[in-house]
Amino acid sequence: MSSVELQRFLRHLREHPGLLAELKSLGRDAEAVVRWTKERSFSLTREEIAEFFASEQELADDELEQVAGGDDAWSGGPPPPTGGP
């Protein structure tokens, strides 16, 4: 995600989050997405669009539970320390 144009595109989506749902409704039809971005004055390549869509992932409960493992996130060890007052 290092392309200046792609970063500009992401910034636009941040500022107009509703557009993300619209974009996703196009599915992963590269031609349609290219047209959609051009209509909004973005000049993205098909590779950049593929890279963008590839970044959409989900976290499974198992993966979240590894975070909950805290200090030994990958071995289910003790949770973080608690030194508050």
Partner 1 sequence: MAPLFSPRAVGCLQVVARNLPGGVLAALEARLATGEDAVDLSIRLQRSSNLSALALVPMPEAVHALLVQWAQPGGALARVPSVWLEIDLPTSVAVPDLLSTPGTLLVPSVCARLRADADPLWLADTLLPALTGERPAPDLRALLLRCLAAVSPPARPVYLFSLLPRAGSPVRLEIFGLGLDGIASCLRQVAPASMDRVLAAAELLTGAERLHLSFDLGAEVLPRIGVEGSFPRLPNREPRWAELFDRLVDRGLCAAEKRDAALAWPGYDSFWTTPERWPTGVGSGGFCARALSHIKLVSRPDRELEAKAYLLLERLSSKA
* Residues near partner 1, by CB under 8 A: 1, 7, 10-11, 13-15, 17, 20, 52, 54-57, 59, 61, 63-65, 67-71, 73, 76, 78-85
3-state class of 44 per DSSP? coil
Q: Cβ closer to partner 1: 12 or 34?
A: 12
> Shortest gap between Cβ of 69 and partner 1 (angstroms)?
7
Q: Cβ closer to partner 1: 17 or 41?
A: 17
Cα 82 to chain centroid, rounded: 32
Q: How many other C-beta atoms are found inside a 10 Å radius of the C-beta of residue 4? A: 7
Confirm if 3 and 48 have CB atoms less than 8 A apart. yes
Q: Cβ closer to partner 1: 25 or 82?
A: 82
Task: State the Cα–Cα distance between residues 49 and 53, nearest whole angstrom.
Answer: 6
Q: How many other C-beta atoms are found inside a 10 Å radius of the C-beta of residue 12? A: 14
> Shortest gap between Cβ of 44 and partner 1 (angstroms)?
12
> Shortest gap between Cβ of 35 and partner 1 (angstroms)?
20
